[in-house]
């Protein structure tokens, strides 16, 4: 098994405009996703939703600036850390991850154990 990070990139406006209903249904969808990871033979190691990019602070060469590292339409809004057999397995799981206003990126975690 190997570890993969699922990065959720979405247009934040979707949740602002959608109001509490959209927020609630997204919460339910993520709850369901957490169950599906195990059903698919993977393992959920962790994950979090992030506060919107309006709360982000960036640091480049010790210079602190307001805002996210890169201004893009679809911003990093949350992540999951999962365990999967290989990339195909990770992608099969990541396809189930809710991201109605964008999409997800799958990145293998670098093995630093040095074994």
Rule CB under 8 A: which residues touch other proteins? Answer: 2, 85-88, 91, 106, 108, 110-111, 115
Q: Which is nearer to other proteins, 26 or 106 (CB)?
A: 106
Q: How far is the CB of 105 from other proteins (least distance, A)?
A: 11
Sign of the CA dihedral running 61, 67, 72, 77: positive
Enumerate the β-bridge partners of residue 56: none
Query: CB within 8 A of 20, min separation 6: which ones?
Result: none
Q: How far is the CB of 94 from other proteins (least distance, A)?
A: 11
**How many angstroms separate the CA atoms of 64 and 62, rounded?**
6
Q: Which is nearer to other proteins, 4 or 33 (CB)?
A: 4
Q: Which is nearer to other proteins, 28 or 87 (CB)?
A: 87
Q: How far is the CB of 88 from other proteins (least distance, A)?
A: 6
Sign of the CA dihedral running 10, 11, 12, 15: negative
Q: Which is nearer to other proteins, 50 or 109 (CB)?
A: 109
Q: How far is the CB of 53 from other proteins (least distance, A)?
A: 27
Per the structure block, which two tokens stand in for 95?
């396809």
Residue 26: in which H helix or E strand, if any?
helix 13-39
């Amino acid at each position: 098994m190997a570890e993969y990070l699922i990065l959720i990139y979405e247009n934040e406006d979707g949740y602002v405009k959608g109001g509490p209903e959209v927020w609630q249904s997204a919460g339910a969808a993520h709850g369901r996703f957490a169950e599906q990871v195990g059903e698919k033979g993977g393992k959920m190691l962790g994950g979090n939703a992030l506060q919107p990019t309006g709360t982000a602070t960036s640091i480049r060469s010790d210079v602190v600036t307001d805002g996210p590292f890169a201004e893009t339409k679809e911003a990093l809004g949350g992540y999951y850390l999962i365990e999967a057999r290989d990339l195909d397995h990770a992608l099969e799981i990541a396809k189930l991850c809710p991201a109605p206003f964008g999409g997800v990126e799958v990145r293998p975690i670098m093995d630093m154990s040095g074994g």
